[in-house]
Structure 1
């Protein structure tokens, strides 16, 4: 089971010096990956069910990961997650290919459909369309990346007689979410599923959802086995919890440092977490 870290593009670790120091620490500790979160805007004042204060900083994940790519050599880089219906798929396909190219093929695009209506409204996306846009945008980007003469004719994305290079190196897609639609999307369009659990029972429920989805939708052979990427929240996993996840088939266990941690405290959390490998 690989170990990785998420969420260091927000709150107290957004500075260039802190980012450089922690990214190189992650590499030195043997972490596999570094995942960046996304919110373009947050509702203000925040509702009770929103985990972030709109006054807390959060960097664009692709810009942040470009910086991390430049100061590391081995870390796998990923978004956990980009809120896909809020992005233009043609522009995002170019950004993904560019980041993958400059990082030496280290980038994984993690996507989700989003859940904050004020954020969707601010970028001009109807909340009711977010699932359909997510599916269609994934298909449109796949066409741009893989077709010799890319063309796509959908409700939300249309293009023909265009091309874009460089192509990403076998672009990997991870799908986040805990709804039946998200599970179906992960099975039908993702190389992996990215989820959050409070413990092993939460994970079992998600795995059951993924198994049900596998009976409902076809999984293309090109995607291979569905990898499981998991964050335990709100607490850092103990060794016993990590072993339970390993036995349940988790491929990558991801640390999300404690809310409010200083860079020094995050470094200590990373060092303790690395002992679970």
Structure 2
């Protein structure tokens, strides 16, 4: 089992350069960071976690800028989005951003994707929340074509462009791994586009039957990563018994000193399973 970190990088917490360096020094294999382009001042969509929306959602850095900063000061750390909100992203620009980061980092990108939950936020990007699933599928398909074809074209319900050149191409071939986030509603997307399922904090007890249903649907052994894992040894052992490929411990957004102390505690836990 591999161990990484999931977090929100904001203007009020540890910098992406300091965090990236600290993770690599402590032998974590990956950093996955969240994305929100903005939070509408008048928000009606309930926060999925319940209660008030935490401040970190309002202050996230752009994920590809932050991951580039982390990539510059590291050599081995995998750079992941957890998750990139594909319904809010132009597919041509996003394909270029992902490929550019993969090139400058030497092939270390993992693209975690999802459809989002904040309906007001996605409407501000011109996205109809009721069709965001189909939109996401088309954009992922188009991005794969842009990465793998010298002249790509796409003509769909939402995405439409004639033959184009789009460079650079990713270092990783055929493209960086795509981790599809979400619950069971995302399983068909995982089966079609996913190199792995990015499960969002499910306990081992709930996750086991879900993995079986996913693999039955996909008709293959889909790798599983779990996002937002608590530092609970019993849960870590439970994920290990399920054959989970990667655990992403949740690290609260804090100043540098507090973050490093938290990482040291996680390092002690991870050492039990090395």
Under TM normalisation by the shorter chain, which class is it? 0.7 to 0.9
| CA distance in 2: counterparts of 1:148 and 1:179, whole angstroms | 35
Contact 1:173–1:190 (CA<8 Å) still a contact in 2? yes
Tell me how far 1:51 sits from its aligned partner. 4.2
Count of residue pairs the alignment pairs up: 262
TM-score normalized by the length of structure 2: 0.87
| CA distance in 1: counterparts of 2:206 and 2:255, whole angstroms | 29
Tell me how far 1:19 sits from its aligned partner. 2.7
Unaligned 5+ segments in structure 2 are none
| CA distance in 1: counterparts of 2:225 and 2:80, whole angstroms | 11
Corresponding residue number in structure 1 for 2:251: 257
1:188 lines up with 2:192 in the alignment: yes
Unaligned 5+ segments in structure 1 are 220-224
| CA distance in 2: counterparts of 1:59 and 1:265, whole angstroms | 20
Corresponding residue number in structure 1 for 2:223: 227
| CA distance in 1: counterparts of 2:102 and 2:147, whole angstroms | 12
Please identify, of 41-50 and 71-80, the stretch whose mean Cα deviation from structure 2 is larger. 41-50
Tell me how far 1:264 sits from its aligned partner. 2.1
Contact 1:34–1:77 (CA<8 Å) still a contact in 2? yes
Corresponding residue number in structure 2 for 1:42: 39
Corresponding residue number in structure 2 for 1:75: 77
Partner SS state of residue 134, structure 1:
helix
Corresponding residue number in structure 2 for 1:239: 233
Tell me how far 1:238 sits from its aligned partner. 2.0
Corresponding residue number in structure 2 for 1:271: 264
Corresponding residue number in structure 2 for 1:10: 10
Task: State how 1:114-129 maps to structure 2 within 5 Å.
Answer: 114-129=116-131
Partner SS state of residue 237, structure 1:
coil
Of 163, 166, 177, the match for 2:182:
177
Contact 1:228–1:251 (CA<8 Å) still a contact in 2? yes
Tell me how far 1:55 sits from its aligned partner. 7.5
Please identify, of 149-158 and 111-120, the stretch whose mean Cα deviation from structure 2 is larger. 149-158
Seen in structure 2, the aligned counterparts of structure 1 residues 206 and 10 have a Cα distance that, compared at 3 Å, is: farther
Tell me how far 1:205 sits from its aligned partner. 4.4
Tell me how far 1:268 sits from its aligned partner. 1.9
Partner SS state of residue 108, structure 1:
strand
Alignment deviations for residues 222-241 of structure 1 (CA, whole Å, 9 cap, x no partner): xxx522111245xx232222
Contact 1:197–1:203 (CA<8 Å) still a contact in 2? no
Seen in structure 2, the aligned counterparts of structure 1 residues 13 and 91 have a Cα distance that, compared at 3 Å, is: same
Tell me how far 1:179 sits from its aligned partner. 3.5
Seen in structure 2, the aligned counterparts of structure 1 residues 51 and 199 have a Cα distance that, compared at 3 Å, is: farther
